[in-house]
Structure 1
Amino acid sequence: MAEQPPARVWVMRSLYIGLSLSIIFLHLLPLATSPSRWFAPDLLMAFTFAWAMRRPEYVPVISVGFIILLADFLFQRPPGLLAGLIVVGAETLRARSVANRDMPYLVEWMSVAGVMITIIFAERLFLAIFFVPAPSLSLVLIQLAMTIALYPLVVMISHFLFNVRRSAPGEVDALGHKL
C-alpha cells in the first residue's frame, strides 16, 4: 500500500496557501483602467473544491477559512460570508470524497457544480436578508458558469502539474489510517 509521508502533506498544504495567495495577488493587479463588464471565474473556489475532493488532507479547514477570509477583506466583500459558505462547501465535498473516489469524473464535476450553485444562491439570500447591496445577478451567474466550466481545467492542472490525485482504494497515510 502506498503511503503519504507527512512532509509531503505539509508541502502540499504550503503549496495550496502559496497558490491561493498568488491567485489573490494576480486578481488585485491593476491590469485594466476601466471597469470590467464580466467577472473572472472564482479560481480560489475551484482549486479549493478540486483539492478537497481529491486530497482532503491538503486543504485543512483553517487554511481554507483564512485564505477565503483574506480574499473577502481584500476584494471588499462582506467579511466572512463567502468564507463561511466555502468552508461549509469544502467540508461537504470532503465528506463525500471517499464515496466519489470510485465514481466517474462527471459525477464529481456535477457534485462540485451543485455545491457552487448552492453557495452562490445562499450568499445572495444572506445578502438580501441583511439588506447588503449585491452585485448584479447576471454578472454573478456568468462568474458561476465560468467557474463551473473551468473546473475540469483546474482539475487537470492540479492532477498533472501539482500531482493532486484521487487516493486509491486501500491507500493509507503515514499513521496507517485509511484515506
Structure 2
Amino acid sequence: MVDAVTYRRLGHWAVFLSLVVLTIFLQLMPLHLGRDDIPAPDLISQICFVWVLRRPEYIPVWLIALAGFCADILLMGPPGLGAIALIVGTEFLRRRSYVVSEQPFVVEWALVAAVLLGTTLFQWFAMAALAAPHPPLGEALVPLAVTVVTYPFVMVFNAYGLGIRQASPAEKDAEARI
C-alpha cells in the first residue's frame, strides 16, 4: 500500500505537470490575446522557479527536464537547449532556496531575474556559436523583461491559488524526520 507521503508527492507532480501542459497548450492555441509588440512571458520557467524556491522537494530534476524538453519540442525551439537552461537555472536556485526563504521577496525576485538573464544569454550564445538562426540580442532580452516583470503574479498565483508556500520550520522538521 502507498503511504500518505507518496500520495502527496505524486499529487504535486501531477499539479506541476498539469500547469506545464496547460501552459504549452495555451501557447499553441491560435489566440490573439494581446499586443503584437509585447511577447508572452516564459511561464514554464516562472512556474519551475517558484516551485523550486518555495518547495524544492516537490519537483525533482527529471520532472523539470521532462517539462523543459517537451516544451522545446512542442513549441518548436531548439531541442534540449531550453531544457538544459531550465535545469541549470532551477538547480542553481534549488541550492539557494533555503537562504532565499529567509530573505524578503525583492531578493528572490532579483535572484530570479539574474538567473533568467543567465539562461537567456546562455541560449543566445549557444545558438550563435552553432550558427543557428536567432534574434538579435536586444530582441532576445525583451521576453526576458516581460518574464521578470510578471514573476510576482505567477508567485502569488502559486502561493495563494495552489498553496505552494515556503515551508515553516515545523514542516521542515517533520520532513527531515521522514
What TM-score does the superposition give when structure 1 sets the normalisation length?
0.89
| Paired position in structure 1 for 2:153 | 153
Q: Higher relative CO (CA 8 A, sep ≥ 6), structure 1 or 2? A: 1
- Distance in 2 separating the partners of 1:174 and 1:5: 10
- Distance in 1 separating the partners of 2:47 and 2:135: 23
Q: Report the structure, 1 or 2, having the larger helix content.
A: 2
Report how many residues are paired.
172
- Distance in 1 separating the partners of 2:144 and 2:111: 14
| Paired position in structure 1 for 2:177 | 176
- Contiguous gaps of at least 5 residues in structure 1: none
CA-CA distance at 1:74 after TM superposition:
1.1
- Distance in 2 separating the partners of 1:132 and 1:138: 17
Mapping of 1:1-179 within 5 angstroms? Answer: 5-32=5-32, 36-170=36-170, 171-174=172-175, 176=177
- Contiguous gaps of at least 5 residues in structure 2: none
CA-CA distance at 1:70 after TM superposition:
0.7
Q: Is the 8 A contact 1:52 1:94 kept in 2?
A: yes
- Distance in 1 separating the partners of 2:28 and 2:139: 19
Percent identity over the alignment is 33
- Distance in 2 separating the partners of 1:144 and 1:121: 10
Q: Is the 8 A contact 2:72 2:78 kept in 1?
A: yes
What TM-score does the superposition give when structure 2 sets the normalisation length?
0.90
CA-CA distance at 1:167 after TM superposition:
1.3
CA-CA distance at 1:13 after TM superposition:
1.4
